[in-house]
Amino acid sequence: MRLNATERGKTMVRKSLFIAAVVAALVLGFAVSAYAIGPVYITWNAGGNNAGTGGPHQNYQLTTEKCAVCHSVHAAAPSNAGAGEFGPQATGAAETQLLLRSSVADACTYCHISTNVAGLQVYNGVASNYTVDDVYGHNGSTSAECADCHAVHGANTFKGYIGGKILKKGNEQNEATATLNALVTAGGDVWGATAVSSGDVGDVQVTAFCTRCHKTFSTASETTITAAGYFVEWDGTVTFNSRSYKNHPLKTAEATFVANGANYSGRVAWADAETCRSCHAAGDTRVSTSYGGTGGLVAWSFPHWTNGNASFLVAGWGVNDANIGIADDHDSSTGKPAGSHSVADGAEDGVCLRCHTNGSTGAPNDATAGVNVSF
């Protein structure tokens, strides 16, 4: 049957509308699939698939969901992305790098300073405490950026007690590791220590770690150490070079003092000084929930930032104050060691008097031995 011109025209219109509808459906379907580009960034959740696998920076497994906390294949935020487009916050003008939700420079800041995404917020939650150099912290402006100390993906790090802190292992001072290994009674060497014969295992491991930059570990003041590292000059400036030196030893307190040329042989110290934290005790190292702490905002966060305590030093009047900064002896509301006194200048006498008097009630006249009392 032949169609007249009018019927043929109607048929062509119907075919055109059908084709247009099909094309529209295909375009819409493509558009929907194009915008359904997950997975997007996820909020770190220690439960579910991630239970028992540590933080998001290590122990990646086939069933964990950690990569997308920092990286997202399809949803890496472009420059100037608005709030709600790729996440709850606008990214600003930061360049997208490595499929991160922010720039490399700001990646740590986002989770660990500006927000509490990580569960532990250091530098008192103020980014300038990290970016502006001062005597109260390890700051990223001149010397110590996050990645200088921490391995973002948890490779080649200290294991055992402080494993969750993803501290880089390697280039420790030889004298330090040899001596500190002698303290370890379980867990192999100091890099994987789970127990020590004296002191605190975390402080022993941290001491080994500190010598990566600060090559000032010595077991006797008469021992000459030659090493390359960061050194504080006479005027307080910090330089990196190689030098030979003799310094305060890290050792247990001895009942009889022996030193070449000394005219005194009695007791001179009443508290042990075996680790860096024996003197640089300001700020708590155990505030994260993983180590039994309170987590959340940490205003006094050794070795990141401890306002008022230059070089993280604290002062005291004797052995009671000398014990601050070890184990879990801290004020739960601030993370600052209980009983510590602010040290604005590392040369203040109170730093020495923590160990070199045996006072007990916080007043110098209560000491029965020590500086200005018996020697």
For residue 150, what pLDDT is reported?
Answer: 93
| pLDDT tens digits, one per residue of 4-29 | 555 555 555 455 555 555 445 444 44
For residue 78, what pLDDT is reported?
Answer: 54
φ, ψ dihedrals at 230, nearest 5°: -90, 130
For residue 182, what pLDDT is reported?
Answer: 85
| Residues 238 and 137: beta-carbon distance below 8 Å | no
Q: Is pLDDT at 177 greater than 80 in this prediction?
A: yes
For residue 205, what pLDDT is reported?
Answer: 92
More confident position, 80 or 276: 276
Residues 6+ apart with CB under 8 A from 56: 44, 50, 66, 69, 70
Angle formed by the axes of helices 201-210 and 174-181, nearest 10° = 160
The arithmetic mean of pLDDT across residues 167-176, rounded, is: 90
For residue 196, what pLDDT is reported?
Answer: 83
Give the pLDDT band (50/70/90) at residue 151.
Answer: very high
Q: Which amino acid is at 373?
A: V
For residue 293, what pLDDT is reported?
Answer: 62
Spatial distance between the Cα atoms of 226 and 216, rounded to a whole number of angstroms: 9
Q: What count of other Cβ atoms lies within 10 Å of the Cβ of residue 315?
A: 18
More confident position, 213 or 230: 213
Give the pLDDT band (50/70/90) at residue 36.
Answer: very low
Residues 6+ apart with CB under 8 A from 126: 113
SS (H, E, C) 164-196: HHCEECCCCCHHHHHHHHCCEEECCCHHHCCEE
Closest CA to 274 of 209, 207, 357: 207
| Residues 302 and 282: beta-carbon distance below 8 Å | yes
Closest CA to 335 of 134, 193, 124: 124
The arithmetic mean of pLDDT across residues 274-294, rounded, is: 74
For residue 34, what pLDDT is reported?
Answer: 44
For residue 335, what pLDDT is reported?
Answer: 54
Q: Which residues of 21-38 are buried (b: 16+ CB within 10 A; e: fewer)?
A: eeeeeeeeeeeeeeeeee
For residue 166, what pLDDT is reported?
Answer: 92
The arithmetic mean of pLDDT across residues 75-98, rounded, is: 61
Q: What count of other Cβ atoms lies within 10 Å of the Cβ of residue 345?
A: 11
Average pLDDT of every residue of the chain: 77
Q: What count of other Cβ atoms lies within 10 Å of the Cβ of residue 188?
A: 12
Query: Which token pair is 95?
Result: 């360049």
Least confident span in 4-18, 181-195, 271-285, 303-317: 4-18
For residue 30, what pLDDT is reported?
Answer: 44
Give the pLDDT band (50/70/90) at residue 347.
Answer: confident
Q: What is the largest CA-CA distance in the chain?
A: 129
Q: What is the pTM of this model?
A: 0.79
Q: Is pLDDT at 330 greater than 80 in this prediction?
A: no
For residue 33, what pLDDT is reported?
Answer: 42
| pLDDT tens digits, one per residue of 178-206 | 889 988 877 678 998 888 877 678 889 99
Spatial distance between the Cα atoms of 1 and 156, rounded to a whole number of angstroms: 83
Spatial distance between the Cα atoms of 299 and 257, rounded to a whole number of angstroms: 39
More confident position, 257 or 185: 257
Q: Is pLDDT at 109 greater than 80 in this prediction?
A: yes
Q: Is pLDDT at 67 greater than 70 in this prediction?
A: yes
More confident position, 332 or 283: 283
* Coil, helix or strand at residue 129: helix
Give the pLDDT band (50/70/90) at residue 163.
Answer: confident
| pLDDT tens digits, one per residue of 40-66 | 778 777 677 787 777 888 888 888 888
Residues 6+ apart with CB under 8 A from 106: 94
